[in-house]
Structure 1
Amino acid sequence: MRIDRYILFEWLKVFILTMVVIFGLLLLSDIQDNLQDLIGFGASQLDILSYYIVLLPAFIPVALPVGFMVSLLFFLTQLHRNHEITALRAAGFSLFRITRTLWATGVVFTVMLFQLNANLIPWSVEEARQIWNDLEFSKALEEAPVEEVGLLYNLTFYNRKDSRLWFLNRFNEYNYRAYGITVSEVGEESGIEYRRIVANEGYYDDLKRVWTFLSGREITFDPADGQPIRSLGFEQKLIQEFSEDPELMKYLEQRPKDLSLRELNMVVDYLRPAGDPRLARYAVSFYDRLLSPVSCLIILGLAIPFSVSGVRTNPFVGVSKAMGLFVLYYILVNVGQFAGSSGISPFWSASIPNLVAFGLIGYYYFRLQRP
Structure 2
Amino acid sequence: MDKKHQTRYEDLTLLPRRWFPLPRLDFYILREFLIKYSVLLLVFIILFILGDVYRDISDFLENKASVSDILLYLAYKQPGNIRFILPISMLLGCMWTMATFGKNMEITAMRASGVSLFRCGGSIFVVGLAVTFINIYFNEALVPFTERSAEIIRSNATERRRYVRGLLTYRSNDQQRHWLFNNFTTGNIQNDVTLKTFWTDGMIDSLVLVPDEAARRRMILEIFPGKAERLLSLSRAEMEKQVRRELVGRKVDFYGREAAYDPENETWIFRNGNFISYDRNDDTRFSASTGTSAIHEQIPLTELRFPKNEIPEATNDILNAVKEKDDLPTWVIWDLVQRSPNMAERVKSIYMTVFYYRLAFPWACFLAVFLGIPLATKNERTGSLLAIITAMVIIVVYIVVAQVFLVLGKAGILNPMFAGLAPTAAFIACGAWRIYHDRN
Instruction: Return the TM-score normalized by structure 1.
Output: 0.82
Which residue, 248, 260, 265 being the options, matches 1:204?
260
Q: More displaced, 92-101 or 232-241? A: 232-241
Partner SS for 1:92: coil
Partner SS for 2:425: helix
1:16 shift after superposition: 1.2
Deviations 1:338-362 (A, max 9, x none): 2212323212211111221222112
Quote the Cα distance in structure 1 between the aligned partners of 2:327 and 2:138.
18
1:220 shift after superposition: 8.3
Paired residue for 1:183?
196
Which residue, 359, 363, 368 being the options, matches 2:433?
363
Quote the Cα distance in structure 2 between the aligned partners of 1:48 and 1:227.
52
Q: Is the 8 A contact 1:155 1:171 kept in 2?
A: no
Q: Is the 8 A contact 1:221 1:230 kept in 2?
A: no
Q: Is the 8 A contact 1:193 1:221 kept in 2?
A: no
Q: Closer, same or farther in 2 for the Cα pair 1:282/1:134, shift >3 Å?
A: farther
Paired residue for 2:30?
8
Higher strand share: 1
Matches within 5 A, 1:296-307: 296-307=365-376
Q: Closer, same or farther in 2 for the Cα pair 1:5/1:167, shift >3 Å?
A: closer
1:313 shift after superposition: 4.3
Paired positions, count? 356
Paired residue for 1:280?
349
Q: Closer, same or farther in 2 for the Cα pair 1:279/1:186, shift >3 Å?
A: farther
What letter is aligned with 1:21?
A: V
Paired residue for 1:64?
86
Deviations 1:190-213 (A, max 9, x none): 997336233263323364552314
Which residue, 328, 339, 343 being the options, matches 2:408?
339
Does 1:239 pair with 2:328? no
Paired residue for 1:215?
273
Partner SS for 1:168: strand
Larger Rg: 2
What letter is aligned with 2:93?
A: S
Partner SS for 1:252: helix
Paired residue for 1:165?
177
1:169 shift after superposition: 6.2
Deviations 1:37-58 (A, max 9, x none): 1233443222222222333222
Does 1:289 pair with 2:358? yes
Q: Closer, same or farther in 2 for the Cα pair 1:164/1:265, shift >3 Å?
A: same
Partner SS for 1:43: coil
Partner SS for 1:164: coil
Larger RCO: 1 or 2 (CA < 8 Å, sep 6+):
2
Deviations 1:274-307 (A, max 9, x none): 3442222232123212221110122111111111
Paired residue for 2:72?
50
Quote the Cα distance in structure 1 between the aligned partners of 2:354 and 2:136.
15
Quote the Cα distance in structure 2 between the aligned partners of 1:151 and 1:338.
26
Q: Is the 8 A contact 2:375 2:387 kept in 1?
A: yes
Quote the Cα distance in structure 2 between the aligned partners of 1:249 and 1:88.
57
Superposition RMSD on alpha carbons, in Å?
3.3
Structure 1 unaligned blocks of 5 or more: 142-148
Q: Closer, same or farther in 2 for the Cα pair 1:298/1:88, shift >3 Å?
A: same
1:271 shift after superposition: 4.6
Deviations 1:300-356 (A, max 9, x none): 111111111234445434444444333332232122212212323212211111221
Instruction: Return the TM-score normalized by structure 2.
Output: 0.71
Q: Is the 8 A contact 1:110 1:293 kept in 2?
A: yes
1:369 shift after superposition: 0.9
Quote the Cα distance in structure 1 between the aligned partners of 2:46 and 2:263.
41
Structure 2 unaligned blocks of 5 or more: 1-22, 202-244, 281-291
Partner SS for 2:182: strand
